[in-house]
Amino acid sequence: MEKFATVDADGLRARVEQLLAEHDPAGDRLAFLQARFDAGLAWVHYPPGLGGLGAPRELQSVVDDALAAAGAPDNDPRRIGIGLGMAAPTILVHGTDEQRRRWLRPLWTGEEVWCQLFSEPGAGSDLAALGTRAVREQDSWIVNGQKVWTSMAHEARWAILVTRTDPSVPKHAGMTYFACDMTAPGVEVRPLRQITGEAEFNEVFLTDVRIPDEYRLGDVGNGWRVAQTTLMNERVAIGGGAAPRESGTIAAVCRTWRERPELRTPAGHAELMRLWVEAEALRLTGLRLRQQLAVGAPGPEGSAAKLSYARLNQAVSGFELDLLGDEALRYDDWSTGTWATKRPAAVDFLARSPGYRYLRAKGNSIEGGTSEILRNIIAERVLGLPGEPRVDKDVPWKDLPK
């Protein structure tokens, strides 16, 4: 029986009360999360029946806060971030009713982790150049190719996958989007060891992988448009509260400066203060961005913040090594040998050595869109400057130089 007529903040609080009354938050974790999903309190802006109530997205914090206060378990959004941020919105928009029912609930509860099979060794910034082939065979597709930079692939049950289904048309027109079962024969996940010595990511090799046609998301040949939904949702969420002054990598440098007077030099001070100012400017920009979002006027500054963050993190972590001198010649842990390679699920700059910070920061200007592509996006979409002349637009994919 429907007891609540509205889905305003008070109505949501009442629904949370009811959920807590009927399901013990200290009991079985998964059972509670499933009950929360079924009560429409998973992501309140999703439709009823799919974990939501069709409520305004900004009311989610009402639910999250009330449940956190009650000590209820969360669904570990860090571990299932790709599912929540990228797969789910894509399934919601482009999936069939059956696909939505099959995938969204276990995705949200964390029973099934998702990863993303987009980038390839030959198609990074130019994602639409990808060459992983999917060939139709009756009710299935046979997929062959190699993907890269795949976070969580080693834990994922499912992947969102973009493939080439028609090489004879220009690149954007010949792509098709699927959900791929990561346990299917022919899917091989290998850790991709990176500059830090760790393997946050994976390479994924797809050899004659059979994907049933009912796992296709969107029409054949429409994969690029489906992928746009995924990518537009990639950085929508700006979580958490405002960071305090001297947060992040600048904090470590400031602590060293305060505690180690023998390391100080005049030139070092000038550089330290320049970086301190940059860090504070970035922090205030983030604060301003959150305030814009809170009043429903998101600005394009998010892409600027990503650009600035990468530059700052690299400069600060490089300066930290310069400041430390002799000590900076050491590293905390290479864990040599593939058997010992670490597989962290998240990056924690402050828990690691200065050398790690320096090396890991090199990824900040590459992951999630290179700084060069971000500059193009700012220049073209924000400032309205003309695009580069395109030589690949009307050429069949198979005829493009590779």
Residue from 351, 389, 391, 401 in contact with other proteins (CB under 8 A): 389
Residue from 149, 177, 257, 356 in contact with other proteins (CB under 8 A): 257
Cα separation, 273 vs 275, in Å, equals 5
Residue from 7, 152, 282, 315 in contact with other proteins (CB under 8 A): 282
Partners of residue 159 on adjacent β-strands: 115, 180
Residue from 142, 184, 220, 254 in contact with other proteins (CB under 8 A): 254
Smallest distance, Å, CB 266 to other proteins?
6
Using alpha carbons only, how large is the chain's radius of gyration in Å?
A: 23
Residue from 240, 266, 337, 401 in contact with other proteins (CB under 8 A): 266
Sole window of 165-173, 183-191, 289-297, 338-346 interacting with other proteins (rule: CB under 8 A): 289-297
Distance of CA 25 to the CA centre of its chain: 28
Partners of residue 216 on adjacent β-strands: 178
Residue 234 among the catalytic residues: yes
What x/- string results for residues 291 through 310 when contact with other proteins is judged by CB under 8 A?
A: xx--x---x-x-xxx-xx--
Residue 342, Cβ density class (10 Å: 0-12 exposed, 13-18 middle, ≥19 buried) = middle
Smallest distance, Å, CB 242 to other proteins?
9
Smallest distance, Å, CB 281 to other proteins?
4
Query: Does 236 participate in binding other proteins (rule CB under 8 A)?
Result: no
Sign of CA dihedral 203, 205, 209, 213: positive
User: If binding means CB under 8 A, how many residues of this protein chain bind other proteins?
Assistant: 47
The CB density around residue 10, as the number of other CB atoms within 10 Å, is: 11
Kindly give the residue spans of alpha helices, DSSP state H, lying in 203-300. 223-232, 249-259, 266-294
Partners of residue 188 on adjacent β-strands: 205
The CB density around residue 149, as the number of other CB atoms within 10 Å, is: 22
Sole window of 25-33, 52-60, 253-261, 359-367 interacting with other proteins (rule: CB under 8 A): 253-261
Residue from 236, 238, 277, 350 in contact with other proteins (CB under 8 A): 277
Residue 225, Cβ density class (10 Å: 0-12 exposed, 13-18 middle, ≥19 buried) = middle
Among the listed residues 111, 155, 188, 234, the single catalytic one is 234
The residue among 80 and 282 lying less far from other proteins, judged by its C-beta, is: 282
- Following CA atoms 348, 353, 359, 362 in sequence, which dihedral angle do they give, to the nearest 10 degrees? 40
The binding site for other proteins (CB under 8 A) comprises 245-246, 254, 257-258, 264, 266, 269-270, 272-274, 276-278, 280-282, 284-285, 287-288, 291-292, 295, 299, 301, 303-305, 307-308, 372, 374-376, 378-380, 382-389
